[in-house]
Amino acid sequence: MKKIGFVIPWYGENIPGGAEMELRQVTDRLHRAGVELEILTTCIKDAGSDWSRNFHKEGTETASNGITVRRFRVGERNAAAFDAVNAKLMKGMRITPAEEDIFLTEMAECSALYGYMKEHSEEYSLFVFIPYLLCTTYNGTKMFPEKSVLIPCFHDEAYAYISRYKEVFPKAAGMIFNARPESELAERLYGFSKSGTKTIVMGIGMDTDIKPDADAFRKKFGIDSPFIVYAGRKDKGKNVHTLVQYFAEYLKRRDTDLKLVLMGGGSIELPDELVRQKRIIDLGFVDIQDKYNGQAAAEFLCQPSKNESFSLVIMESWLCGRPVLVHSGCPVTRNFVSESDGGLYFGDYFEFEGCTDWILRNREKAALMGRNGGDYVRSNFAWDVIVEKYKKFFAEVIGEREQ
C-alpha cells in the first residue's frame, strides 16, 4: 500500500471542532500503527478565520507526532458572494445549482493544493476527505473518485441536499460513517448501495482507560447533592436551553435537592435565582480529568442536542460508569442508547421528568446502564478496534480498485 493523503482545508494541533479533532486522532493512531500517511492542507489558520488569508507558512512540516503536513497557499475569494449563499443554507433553505457553484467555488481558493494532488496522485493509494461539505472534499472527490474515501459526518441539513454533492459523492470509492443513522441518511440521499461505493459504519476511536474519581470532584467543587451533568459547548445549537428550561420546571414540580452542573465553553442565559441558589452551577472550562470526575459523580449525563454525528461525551460518561439521557429527536444518540442499553431518551418535558424520576429511584439499574454503555464503548470504539477496522477497510477499497 502506498501512502494515504488525508485532506482538509485547515489543520492544526489545537483547532477545535469535531471533524478536525477526528482527523487528528485518526491520523495519529494510524501513524502509530505504521500506516504511511500525510496531511494535505492549506495555509488557512482554522474554520473561524479569513479563508483567503495565508496564516501558516507554505511548504512541508513535521507535526509533533511525526506526521508530514503539506501546506498550500490559498488565493482571493469572493467572500460576500459565498456568505450570501451560505446564509440561505444556514437557514435551512435550498439553493439553485448556480448558487451551489458559488458556494463551492468561493468557499476557499485551493488551486495550489489541487495542482499538487494531480501532479503527485500516483504516489498515493487513497485520498481521505473530511467532512463532506468542504470544497476540498467535493473538488478532490471529483478529481479522483476512484481514489477517494470520505469521512463525511453527514447531518440532515440543507448542505446535504446540494445537488453537486449528489453528482459526485456516489462515485467515491469509499464512505466511512460515524454512526448507523448517518449511514441510513446517506443511503436515502445518495444511494451508495446502488452506486457501488464501499461503506462502513466505523465510529470514532476512544481512549478507554479513563480513571475517574467522583469523590475528588465533589470535594474540589463543593457539590454534595445529587446532580445532572452537561458537558460540552453551551449554546442553542446544542439545545442546552431546553435542558435548562426542563430542569427549572422539574424543580418546581419536585421536592428535591437535585442540581444541574454545566461544564464547557460558550454561554447561555441561566435563571438568576437558580444560579444564586446554586441549583444550577456553571463551571465553564474544566480540565479533562475534572470532566471525567464530574461525569462519574453525576446521577447521569444529559445530552440534549438534536444534531450529532457521534458524541464523545456520551461515550466518556459510559466509560465513567454513568448512564445518559439523550434527546429522541437525535437519531444518532438515540441509536447509541438503544444499541448499548446505556440510558434513556426524552422528547418533551414530561418524558424528561419521567426519565429523571426513574434514574433517581432506580440507582442500581441506572448503574447497570452505565456499565452496559462502558462495555459497548470498549467493544466498538477502543482505538485498537478502530485502527484495525480502518486498515482492513482501506485494504478492501484499494483491492477492489486494483482488480
- Does 168 share its domain with 42? yes
Q: Which among 88, 17, 87, 93 has a CA at the least distance from the CA of 49?
A: 17
pTM (predicted TM-score): 0.86
CA distances 243 to 83, 196, 250, 278, 286, Å, are 32, 42, 10, 16, 20
- Does 157 share its domain with 230? no
| Strand pairing report for 227-231 and 148-150 | unpaired
Q: Which domain holds residue 118?
A: 3-205+382-402
Residue 273 corresponds to which amino acid? E
**Secondary structure of 191-206 in HEC code, one letter for each residue:** CHHHHCCEEEECCCCE
CA distances 292 to 125, 207, 211, 316, 359, Å, are 39, 12, 8, 7, 20
- Does 241 share its domain with 225? yes
**How far, in Å, CA of 182 to CA of 190, rounded?**
12
- Does 195 share its domain with 232? no
* Residue 313 main-chain phi, psi, to 5 deg: -70, -30
- Does 131 share its domain with 280? no
Phi-psi region of 330 (alpha: psi -120 to 50; beta: other; left: phi over 0): beta
- Does 392 share its domain with 297? no
Q: What is the pLDDT of residue 288?
A: 94
Could you tell me if 165 and 145 are in contact, meaning their C-beta atoms sit under 8 angstroms apart? no
Q: What is the pLDDT of residue 338?
A: 97
Our count of domains for the chain comes to 2
- Does 241 share its domain with 133? no
CA distances 393 to 41, 175, 191, 370, 382, Å, are 23, 10, 20, 31, 17
Q: List strands edge to edge, sheet with 148-150.
A: 59-62, 68-72, 37-42, 3-7, 124-129, 148-150, 174-177, 198-201
Could you tell me if 69 and 41 are in contact, meaning their C-beta atoms sit under 8 angstroms apart? yes
Q: Which among 38, 39, 130, 115 has a CA at the least distance from the CA of 75?
A: 115
Could you tell me if 343 and 174 are in contact, meaning their C-beta atoms sit under 8 angstroms apart? no
What DSSP string runs through 187-248? HHHH-HHHHT-EEEE----B-------HHHHHHHHT--S-EEEEES-BSGGGTHHHHHHHHH
Could you tell me if 221 and 215 are in contact, meaning their C-beta atoms sit under 8 angstroms apart? no
Give the up-direction half-sphere exposure of residue 105: CA atoms within 13 A in the CB hemisphere.
9
- Does 194 share its domain with 244? no
Distance of CA 394 to the CA centre of its chain: 21
Q: Which among 303, 289, 285 has a CA at the least distance from the CA of 228?
A: 303
Q: What is the pLDDT of residue 402?
A: 42
**Cell numbers at residue 98, please?**
448556480
Q: What is the mean pLDDT of each run of 10 residues along the chain (403 residues)?
A: 95 83 94 97 95 97 96 97 96 94 96 98 97 97 98 93 97 96 96 95 94 98 97 90 98 97 92 97 96 98 92 96 97 96 98 98 98 97 96 91 43
**How far, in Å, CA of 355 to CA of 244, rounded?**
16
* DSSP state for residue 257 in the 8-state scheme: -
CATH code of 15's domain = 3.40.50.2000
Q: What is the pLDDT of residue 383?
A: 96
- Does 36 share its domain with 184? yes
- Does 16 share its domain with 162? yes
- Does 394 share its domain with 327? no
- Does 197 share its domain with 62? yes
Q: Which among 241, 277, 236, 239 has a CA at the least distance from the CA of 257?
A: 277
